[in-house]
Chains A and B, each alone.
Chain A
């Protein structure tokens, strides 16, 4: 790791040496007191926030940075998603963006010296209807032209890739075809959080857990309290003390609206839960990621042998992460439609994460009407996939004080002009 601070590199030899000497590894990141002032305060210690902090330090030399999280690092969506990555999107903007993200993920283990266990196991999106097959062909044709490896395959080939899928024509939702995307796969989501945290820390970035932002201090704004449009950020009040800072980056996903509200901004974002579940482990039998848009389900098997399931976002807005029984019932029903052989496997745990949904299912990135208050929010159900590239671009945005081209379509101001972008067509088909 190319940090300035210190820290032994992780390696097999290191494991051997410490095993022999029976010594522990040093702290993965420092436990530091909150300073009175930072150049940049990143709110939210998930993949987006940590990547932003890391790239600020690594690419732009801005190291007087704090990342604040009200709980522990990766406690939000970063630790709750189903860790699927892919780049077979539909719009040129989407493809360019996610392809960069996938590239950063692919080399992350080596770049950040922590094995994030990127598993390039392929990604199958199933089509059960005539119209879904047509959409798949469309995606395949678009991807072909963008040099993304993705093609439409038939039931026989699907069966070869994933023998547990019932590809017979007599099921309730017969599998007619699939979009196969070999570069897609899964990654260990927590490891991504830790890799960025450790790498950022090595550059001197301070990571503050259990540090909740209570207020954002502004001056000169149009609201009676000096916040809102035209204001300048001056600092952050936290549960552990006050910080003065001129730049605050909001990377809080489900809580994005609340944090923006502290700066006097109202974001066009609603928060919806997205539920997921995991089974008991069994010996590995599902070698690829399987997604069915029409059945609202995606499934992959971890290296630990558990099946991890996700679904579509719940239709109601709430901050409640309790999860519902109905979700598990519908999920199980649809999974068994695809893979009847797992009927005796047992569901071990269900959970929910919060998704920050915008009207066009695209993120809000970059500047806001409050000077010094930046947003990297509105990621909805696919923030994890975009984490690395978002951090890279947000860091560039903050450092250069200019919007990088890659994220220009995602400016907050688009909602004032009706210039909505859409990966809705592609994002809606899920993971």
Chain B
């Protein structure tokens, strides 16, 4: 039985373009312009879903995006709004949450148990026996509603757009269009965002005259230069009008996120029709007036044959004439304005058959249309801080107070004729434009370090709009029977009354207990009915009960659109391609990919110890510090003193958080009077930068310091080994590299292999004579290759991170974050001499003062450890126990086999009573066995005097 009507003057469908699709594997045909729902109805498919708990058959309710009954799976996309999504050729549509099929659903048996499955029933049972709960849980989880995630769904490619517009208008009904037009005519750039596929709002399913008006307004908007986005939703309004827009019709992607910093936001989101609560209100064949009108006028679908209409407003009245025009027999019009209502609706699972009115009349009908009022979607206004209040005359909520940069127009703020609505929209657009100009001025003056614009701020234009009237509307919420309040959650008015009687009697508690309004439409259709039923339960007014806070997003937005592309690139140095071409084994170190080794780390160690090696240490954090107050900053963030650092010198320092815990270390060199280069750990680079900026911006904005991260601006190479000076000498002419002229812990600027402005400092993590050179990145590879070419006879060989780690462990250098942790205070590392408590202040000083006053008692100590079995290399996690117990007294933090010493060596943290040299330790290895080890005298297993380093 086809339900498609003869061509309608306002139809969206293109009858010349049939589209094939499948519905639960059944082959069907619709037209271009159809929504999935209109195509299904045209094919006489009335049951679109099953309800969550009772698996009741559900058909169309609102036939739009918010319809709780028409969520379907399309291919690998779950939870598609079939009342909104346009039909596409070849799509595979299926019902969700049904088993085994939509038509015969076994879980519908739950309906029989409905009286026992009251809201929140699961809180009251399945407690004993406790061991069975996991089983119960599995069963409950099977009732989870929604579609299916295909685990093969690709990540997809999502871009975002940043829009820089003056005015964003949410909603392109007549008021939104009018507002956009007048704001644009006032010279503002305007973005008009419409949730549906076409602009015009309710005019589209009105009269031909209405549609003409809509077309005229749309044309005016285009001419005025308004950017119109359809099938797009303003999903959020955040601080300072940071506006998020989900654009669903951008080619090639599911959704695109547009972010706009609107100077003013106009909310003209219209009204959402509210269902009526009565027995059988979720029956297939019961729908809202807007749904009936859209189906007839826009999709040429006849929603039924014999209809009863409950109307309390003009839209309901218009539905009656629409139905009659479509050949639907209207058996009765029940007028809510005269105190008449509906009591119940019933029929078979497939079809509505009987409607009983409040006066007891029993009517035969397969369609019941209700028009009982509106919910104002004040969501965006909520996000702007507004708390709406209820007006019983109009039977809906209205905004109370909005910030200067948010304006509302249309149904959200009042009623009126079409002309009055358009006039209000126009004056709203004008005001939005005036305010945008003032806010523009304000924004420019508040930007720091910029040239301020001329003139003082103009006064903010006051709101002189003629307010819309508030038309009376009967308060129709619930009949004398109980029905569904939240369709998607299967929560009835009876559930709500029960919950209120149990004491869950505030709107938030009842929501949490029953889950009403927590489903996919987030209360768009359900909230006000929930509040009304609760008010009834408590004997209070709706205003007294109040409403829940609407949270972003206004419409759900895909994770793909939110994610966009991840702007967290993998970081590599300018020498990376060379490493790849030369047998690098890569390792992930934070964001970086680095060479772990080039084949044999032990040979790399031997070559550094005997000849010379070069390592790419570009990931080392580098911050360029300039200004007259840099020493003040260094004194504040490092524990040691920096006031007397001579030009050309480099100093090591540790940084502590305010709790005295070491969070970074590195060297800083003074390049000239007011110019320093700071190095940080590779993983701590970003954190240290933030830390410096935090002190500069929040505590000492008066300090003259400019911090520039230059980590990747320089390619950093460490040349290490007894022949490193000889090698570097071959490439450098303008700096005397001799030990006398360029001693240990000094810095020079010079030219390396023809590359000027290279920074060289004499420091070393490996324990060998070494030079660390920072070369402008563009020349990094050149210098690297020159070092290898010029040093061939010196047996220069690159070495990787692993060899460096072995050598630093041989030398006893600790690594922040490996040998220290989130609890390690500075004294633990053995660097107490670097804690200068006589400084006026530094980060962590009070904590360290306390620790040192107490003789660092209770703090663990970082010590070098050698396993008694020299061939045993314990895991870098194994715990040190008090002998004969499982009491943890320390742990191994670093552990390697030393090729130089031909034995295993470790660093570890131990309780102070175990820290004395020669103490025997018990290690619990990761395999559960125990082994012994001994504490060493010095952190350095190799060259403790540092002869090689200073050579």
Contact = CB atoms under 8 A, between A and B. Distances in A.
Interface of A: 10-12, 14-16, 19-20, 22, 24-31, 71-75, 79, 91-92, 107, 109-110, 113-120, 128-131, 134-135, 137-138, 140-142, 145, 163-164, 172, 174, 176, 188, 190-191, 194, 209-210, 279-285, 302-305, 320, 322-325, 328-329, 331-333, 335-337, 340-351, 359-360, 417-420, 422, 424-426, 428
B818 A131 contact: yes
A24 B502 contact: yes
A293 to B, nearest CB: 12
Contacts of A349: 522, 551-553
Contact of A28 (B502, B659, B888): B502
Contacts of B127: 10-11, 109-110, 113-115
B239 interface: yes
Given A79-B512, A418-B847, A351 B891 contact: no
A-B interface, 7 closest residue pairs, ranked by CB to CB distance from nearest: A418-B850, A425-B822, A305-B144, A137-B877, A346-B556, A332-B562, A340-B155
Given A282-B148, A336-B563, 10 more contacts: A14-B125, A25-B124, A141-B877, A142-B888, A282-B149, A320-B239, A332-B561, A341-B149, A344-B254, A344-B560
A344 B259 CA distance: 20
B144 A281 contact: yes
A163 B878 contact: no
Contact of B877 (A134, A281, A360): A134
Interface residues of B, number: 107
A26 B503 CA distance: 8
Interface of B: 76-79, 113, 115-116, 118, 121-128, 130, 133-134, 137, 140-142, 144-156, 158, 236, 238-239, 242, 244, 254, 257, 259, 383, 497-498, 501-504, 506, 508-509, 512-513, 515, 519-520, 522, 551-553, 556-564, 566, 568, 570, 587-590, 658-661, 683, 817-818, 821-823, 846-847, 849-851, 854, 875-879, 881, 886, 888, 891, 924, 926
B888 to A, nearest CB: 6
Contact of B128 (A71, A110, A114, A335): A110
A131 B683 contact: yes
Nearest to B79: A280
23 contacts: A12-B126, A15-B118, A114-B127, A115-B123, A115-B125, A137-B876, A138-B891, A164-B149, A210-B506, A280-B556, A285-B151, A303-B141, A305-B141, A320-B239, A332-B562, A340-B153, A340-B154, A343-B156, A344-B76, A344-B560, A350-B551, A418-B851, A424-B823
Contact of B151 (A20, A164, A322): A164
Contacts of A337: 566
A345 B588 contact: no
A331 B552 CA distance: 15
Contacts of B924: 141, 145
A28 B503 contact: yes
A336 to B, nearest CB: 5
Nearest to A281: B146
A11 B556 CA distance: 37
Contact of B144 (A135, A145, A283): A283
Contacts of A340: 153-155
Nearest to B127: A109
B874 to A, nearest CB: 11
A27 B155 contact: no
A131 B509 CA distance: 44
Nearest to A135: B821
A350 B877 contact: no
Nearest to B129: A110
B847 A190 contact: no
A413 B444 CA distance: 48
A25 B659 contact: no
A319 to B, nearest CB: 13
Contacts of A347: 553, 556-559, 562
B130 A107 contact: yes
A92 to B, nearest CB: 7
A8 to B, nearest CB: 10
B151 A27 contact: no
Given A115-B125, A329-B562, A343 B501 contact: no
B563 A323 contact: no
Contact of A343 (B153, B587, B849, B876): B153
A342 B144 contact: no
Contacts of B878: 141
Contact of B122 (A115, A145, A322): A115
